[in-house]
Amino acid sequence: HLRAQAATHKDQLASSLKEKDEAVSQRDAMSKENAALEELVEGLQIEVGARYDTGFQFAIEQLKVVFPDLDEAKLGELDALNKIVDGKLVPFVPADAA
């Protein structure tokens, strides 16, 4: 009777160890996938920012064509991240920088 119990416990232990190994393997695979996704997100954030800035610069170029007499110095003050506060342009300050 004890041998049967020992064999059952041995089988349960082997099964538990196999499950643990599978879980560790899954965790490692998910960690790699997570790192790859984080890298992809970072790249996409940079690309979106670059496209946003390119679009803004294109809008400035259109202003120069449509209104050729505009003051170049004033146009140079424009920035895609500026805010308008009380009718004036002010630099954008991230909330966590304040």
Mean pLDDT of the chain: 94
State the total domains in the chain.
1
d(CA 31, CA 37): 10
pLDDT bucket at 94, cuts 50 / 70 / 90: confident
d(CA 54, CA 70): 20
Predicted confidence (pLDDT) per residue in 36-69, tens digit: 999 999 999 999 999 999 999 999 999 999 999 9
* pTM to 2 decimal places: 0.62
Full domain range(s) for residue 88: 2-97
- Looking at the chain, the whole-number percentage of residues with pLDDT higher than 90 is 84
Residue of 83, 93, 81, 90 lying closest to 52 (CA atoms):
81
